[in-house]
Structure formats: structure tokens, C-alpha cells
Amino acid sequence: MNFAEIRRALGVALWFVFLTFPLMVIRVDSIESTIEWRWMNMLWVAVGSFALSLLTSWYFRRREAAVGKVSDKPPLAVRLRTWTADPARRLPLFGALAAFAIVFPFLFSSYQTNIMTTALMYVVLGLGLNIVVGLAGLLDLGYVAFYAVGAYSYALLNTHFGLGFWTVLPIGAALAALFGILLGFPVLRLRGDYLAIVTLAFGEIIRLVLENWNDFSQGPSGISNIERPALFGIELTLNQSITYLYFLMLLMVIITIFVVNRLQDSRIGRAWLALREDDIACQAMGIDKTKTKLTAFALGATWAGMVGVIFAAKTTFINPASFTFLESAIILAIVVLGGMGSILGVIIGAFILILLPEYLRALADYRMLAFGAILVTMMIFRPQGIIANVRRTYQFTRKDA
């Protein structure tokens, strides 16, 4: 530990104290018209950021020293795949997870079940966006638009035409896929920042249309009294409906994992990976870039549309404020935090980003600050994501006759 690192850590500590001073030190009591100065909080912030900065410097110095050394230790994704490949380990593990998932709504309260249902919804949304961003390499910042299309499809068709949940579910998926294709055509020649700007604009256009077209979408007032899904025509109570939606989302997560996993190993999946690595080389190899991009947008939007239908049925009320850019940012953060292209990583990332703020409520005013600090720490120490996708390599061995 040299003097330069200590001086840098002191600078980081002072900077964090300056940034968090209004939140951590000053508390205004509007009833008594007094100001409370919490100086101990400032001390804890300074000590914590100083220690974290020193830890970060030590970590990067150790990692730089390890550069060039050949390690026999395979990546985490490979170790997990090897560990679960053994049926003696895989079957008990999957059996325990399945048993816990089945009994979860009967062991915990409706509030906990509702939160878990929301987390499962974001798992499906993350896996859908993972097709576009993680596999095809197309940065989509307007993914929430397809989510809104599915939600408003069910809300409008149920309110005006009385169509039920199961009838609208495939309709919402098809309409979202159609909008995905409509978005895909104008951005076929765009990449990188330009693609991100156009997709962001597309998401904002959808939200503004829904907010200002009062005759169509009821504007900012939204649509209420949306029917919850029924079970074979049987009306369910609120608690029964929460449990029913939980199992419905659990089934959808299983189906999504199966489909996305099969897509990765399919011909179109390999085309997406080629497009992500180098679109010029992809086209030179005879892959149709137009078809590949449109397929990625359409399939990714399909899952968002189905989750949108479920969201409308779950909340029984929607308005444009539920489909802001922040939702797209959260879904993209799930993909990046979990590991782009990794199914297991996206699942873990969704649970962390959705459940962690809820279970940090004990920190009251500081839960979002702690949540942000955890994300920043994660990006510093593991920028490739929790479970990075392993690049596939193919080795040709010549067999002598």
C-alpha cells in the first residue's frame, strides 16, 4: 500500500462525503421546523468509502499482477455447467428448487407472493431483452414500449369488447411482435449509439401517444377495473388470484427458459451470435442480416407483450406512467448485471434488482443508496456480469487415414 493509493482513497472519501451530505447528514423536521445534524453518518460514509477505495486498489493491483499467468481454473459458467451436468447433483438441486417454488405461496404471505410474482415477470422481461441485447447485440432502450403494447391490448380489448385474459394473451404477444417488426425495419442500418437513440425515441413515442390520445387510451387517467384471469370460469378471490398469477408466471418462466435455451442452440441463435460479434463478417458468411435482426426484435417483443398482458391483469389498472424509460433501464440493467447472453445470470440479476430494494426497506431512507452502492460495487469488481456467457469455440482435429 503506497502513499499515492492512500491519497487517492482520501480524495474518494471526501468526494463521497460531499455527495451524500444532504441525504446522510441533514434531516429537516417540517413539523417542528428544526434541522438535525447527524455528523456520525458523515463519519461512517467517510470511513466506509475510504476502506472500499483501498480494497478496490488492492483488488486491481492483484488482478494486474495475475495478468499473463495461465490459470487452470475454468470460468464460473463452465464450472456451473459441469457441476449441474452430473445427474446425481442436478436432480436433487432442481427437485429442491421446484419444491420450494411450489410451496412458496403457501408458506409466505400474499405480499411476499405478490413481490415474487413481480420478480418472475422481470425474469421473463430480462430473458426477452436478452435475445435482443445479449444474443443479437442490438442495444434496445425502448423495450418498455412492447410491454405497454401488451398491457394496453388486454386493457382495451377487455374493457370495450369483454375479451378474457386467455383470449387476449396470444393477441397481445402477436401485436407486440408486430410492433417489434415495425421498429426493426427503420433501424436495420443502425448500430451502437444511433440504434440506442432510435429505440429510446420509439419507447417515448409510444408512451406519449398513450398519454395524449384520450379517446383511445383514456390518457393520463389510465384504464381501471381490468378483469383478473379466471380459472376455468371460476371467479377467484384476491388472495386466490395472487396465488394463481404466481403459478402462471412460474410456468411462463419455465417455458421461456426452455425456448430461449433452444433458440441459443438453433441456427437463428448462432446467426444472432455472429451478428453480435461482427455484422460485416456475418453478412459475408451469407447470413441474412435483415431477417436476423427482425427475428430478434419480434421474438424479444413477444415475451414483453405477454408479460404486459399479465401485468394489466395483475394490477387491474394501468396508465402511461407505468411504462417510462426507467422500466427499460431496469430491464437492461438486469441483462447487464446478470451477464449478457447468460440465462442463469439474467434470472439471478432479476431477483437481485427486484427483490433487493424490497428487502432493504429496513434501511428506510438509505435503501436506494445502499442499492446503488451494491450495483456500483458489482460493476467495479465483476463488469462482465454475475455469470458471464462463455464464448463457444470450435476446434478442428484432422484424423489421419
72 SS3 class:
coil
Tell me, rounded to whole angstroms, the distance of Cα 373 from its chain centroid: 18
- Nearest-CA neighbor of 297 among 319, 329, 322, 275? 275
For residue 344, what is the enclosing H or E element?
helix 343-359
What pTM was estimated for this model as a whole?
Answer: 0.81
pLDDT digits (tens, 9 = 90+) for 101-111: 899 898 888 88
d(CA 297, CA 182): 9
Q: Is 166 exposed, middle or buried (0-12, 13-18, 19+ CB in 10 A)?
A: exposed
185 vs 179: CA distance, rounded Å: 10
Q: Which amino acid is at 282?
A: C
All 3 cell numbers of residue 110? 400474499
Comparing 153-167, 224-238, 253-267, which segment has the lowest mean pLDDT? 224-238
By the 8 A CB rule, do 105 and 337 touch?
no
Helices (H), 220-288: 238-264, 267-277, 279-284
Q: How many CB atoms lie within 10 A of CB 229?
A: 19
* pLDDT value of position 121: 94
What is the spatial distance between Cα 258 and Cα 271, in angstroms, rounded to a whole number? 19
**Relative orientation angle of helices 289-315 and 165-184, to the nearest 10 degrees:** 140
Amino acid at 267: R
pLDDT in tens, 298-357: 999 999 999 999 999 999 899 998 888 888 888 888 888 888 888 888 898 888 888 887
Q: What does the alpha-carbon distance between residue 142 and residue 197 come to, in Å, rounded to a whole number?
A: 9
Alpha-carbon distance of 153 to 389, in angstroms, equals 35
Cell numbers that stand for 244 in this block: 394463481
Question: Is residue 366 predicted with pLDDT exceeding 90?
Answer: no
Residue percentage of the chain with pLDDT more than 70: 86
Residue 30 burial (10 A CB sphere; 0-12, 13-18, 19+): exposed
Element (H, E) at 159: helix 144-161
pLDDT for 88 equals 65
pLDDT tens per residue across span 49-58:
888 888 877 7
* Whether residue 394 has pLDDT greater than 70: no
Q: Which grid coordinates are listed for 284?
A: 459475408
Q: How far is CA 378 from CA 147, 165, 382, in A?
A: 28, 39, 6
Q: Is residue 276 within 8 Å of 136, Cβ to Cβ?
A: yes
In a 10 Å sphere around its CB, with 0-12 CB exposed, 13-18 middle and 19+ buried, how is residue 362 labelled?
A: exposed
- The enclosing H or E element of 37 equals strand 34-37
Give the pLDDT confidence score for residue 400 in this predicted structure. 60
Q: Which amino acid is at 4?
A: A
In 3D, which of 292, 269, 328 has the Cα closest to residue 146? Answer: 328
How high is the pLDDT of residue 245? Answer: 92
**Annotated domain spans of the chain:** 3-66, 108-381
Q: Which pLDDT belongs to residue 61?
A: 76
93-132 as b/e, with b when 16 or more CB fall inside 10 Å? eeeeeeeebeebbeeeeeeebbbbbbbbbbbbbbbbbbbb
As a whole number of angstroms, the distance between CA 27 and CA 362 comes to: 18
Handedness of CA 202, 208, 211, 215 (dihedral sign): negative
